[in-house]
Amino acid sequence: MPDIEQRLKALEKHARANHERWQMLDEHVKALALIRQAIAAPICAATPKILQTIIGNLKVCEKEARAVNAHAKMIVEFRAARKFFEALANKGKGNPPISDGELRRRK
C-alpha cells in the first residue's frame, strides 16, 4: 500500500507542476498580445507606412519557420502577429480622413 500512496503523491505533484506550467504559458501569451497592442498601435498610428514592412517581415518569418519545421506555437504566434498588423492596416484604410477638430482633440 505505501508504494501506491507514494506513486499517487508523486503523480499529484507532477500534475500540479504541469498545471502551473500551462497556467504560466497562458498568462505569457496574454501578456505578449497586450504588449504587442500597446507598442504597435502608437507606432503604427504615428508612421502608417511602416505597417506594410512589418506585415511583410512577419510573412517571411512565418514562411521560414514553416520551412525549418519550427514548433507549431512559434508559427501560430507569427501568424497572430501578422493578422493583428493586417487588421491594424485595414482599419487605417477604412477610416475617413481626420478632420481639423478631431486633430486638435488628439493633440
pLDDT tens digits, residue range 18-76?
A: 999 889 888 888 888 888 888 888 888 888 888 889 999 999 999 999 999 988 888 98
Q: Exposed (0-12), middle (13-18) or buried (19+): which is 64, by Cβ within 10 Å?
A: exposed
Residue 55 contacts residue 83 (beta carbons within 8 Å): no
H or E element in which residue 6 lies? helix 2-46
Q: Look up the pTM and report it.
A: 0.62
CB atoms within 10 A of CB 18: 10
